A and B are shown apart, each in its own frame.
Chain A
Amino acid sequence: MKPTIEKLLEKYYDGETTLDEEKELRAYFQQENIPAHLQSHAPQFRYFANARSEHPSLKSINALANRLNAPEPNWVVRMGSWSVRLAASIGLLILGFGGGLVYNQLRPSAGKGTDLSFISETAPEKSLKQTLAFEQLAKTSASERIDAINQSYEITQADQEITQLLLNTLNFDSNVNVRLAACQALARFEREPSVRDGLIQSLKVQTDPNVQITLIDVLVTIKERRAVEEMQRLAENQEALDAVRLKAEEGVQSLNQAGNAPS
Chain B
Amino acid sequence: MDVQAFKQRILPVQGRLFRVAQLFLRNREEAEDALQDVMLRLWSNRQQLETYQSLEALAVQMTRNLCLDKLKAHSRQKMATDGDFPEVQATTATPYQQVEAADSNELIHRLMEELPDQQRFILHLRDVEEYSFEEIEQLTGLSVNNIRVILSRARQRLRDSYTKANDYEADY
A-side interface residues toward B, CB under 8 Å?
Answer: 12-16, 19, 22-23, 40-44, 46-48, 50-57, 60-61, 63-64, 67-69, 71-72
Distance between Cα atoms of A63 and B105 in the complex (Å): 29
Of chain B, the residue at the smallest CB distance from A30 is B90
Q: Which 7 pairs from chain A and chain B are nearest by CB? A: A15-B152, A43-B104, A60-B32, A47-B108, A15-B148, A15-B151, A56-B18
Tell me which residues across on chain B come within 8 A of A61, comparing CB atoms. Answer: 14
Q: Is B114 an interface residue (CB 8 A)?
A: no
Could you count the A-B residue pairs with CB atoms below 8 Å apart for me: how many are there? 100
Given A63-B36, A72-B3: A19 touches B132 (CB 8 Å cut-off)? yes
Contact string, B80-115, partner A, CB cutoff 8 A, digits 1/0? 000011001100000000000100110111001000
Tell me which residues across on chain A come within 8 A of B156, comparing CB atoms. Answer: 13
Contact string, B107-135, partner A, CB cutoff 8 A, digits 1/0? 11100100000000000101111101000
Q: Could you tell me if A68 and B43 are in contact, using CB atoms closer than 8 angstroms?
A: yes
Tell me which residues across on chain A come within 8 A of B152, comparing CB atoms. Answer: 13-16
Of chain B, the residue at the smallest CB distance from A12 is B155
Tell me which residues across on chain A come within 8 A of B109, comparing CB atoms. Answer: 47
Tell me which residues across on chain A come within 8 A of B65, comparing CB atoms. Answer: none
Of chain A, the residue at the smallest CB distance from B147 is A15
Distance between Cα atoms of A12 and B153 in the complex (Å): 11
Pick the contact of A56: B15, B40, B155 (CB < 8 A): B15
Distance between Cα atoms of A62 and B111 in the complex (Å): 32
| Prevailing SS type, chain B contact patch | helix
Shortest C-beta distance, B119 to chain A (Å), equals: 11
Shortest C-beta distance, B136 to chain A (Å), equals: 11
Tell me which residues across on chain B come within 8 A of A69, comparing CB atoms. Answer: 3
Q: Could you tell me if B43 and A55 are in contact, using CB atoms closer than 8 angstroms?
A: no
Given contacts A42-B104, A44-B155, A57-B32, list 16 more A-B pairs with CB under 8 A: A16-B148, A16-B152, A40-B166, A41-B159, A47-B112, A54-B19, A54-B84, A55-B15, A56-B15, A56-B32, A56-B35, A61-B14, A64-B40, A67-B36, A67-B40, A71-B43
Tell me which residues across on chain B come within 8 A of A71, comparing CB atoms. Answer: 43
Pick the contact of A64: B36, B158, B162 (CB < 8 A): B36
Tell me which residues across on chain A come within 8 A of B14, comparing CB atoms. Answer: 56, 61, 64
Of chain A, the residue at the smallest CB distance from B126 is A22
Tell me which residues across on chain B come within 8 A of A15, comparing CB atoms. Answer: 147-152, 155
Contact string, B33-55, partner A, CB cutoff 8 A, digits 1/0? 00110011001000000000000
Tell me which residues across on chain A come within 8 A of B3, comparing CB atoms. Answer: 68-69, 72
Distance between Cα atoms of A223 and B32 in the complex (Å): 115
Distance between Cα atoms of A35 and B132 in the complex (Å): 30
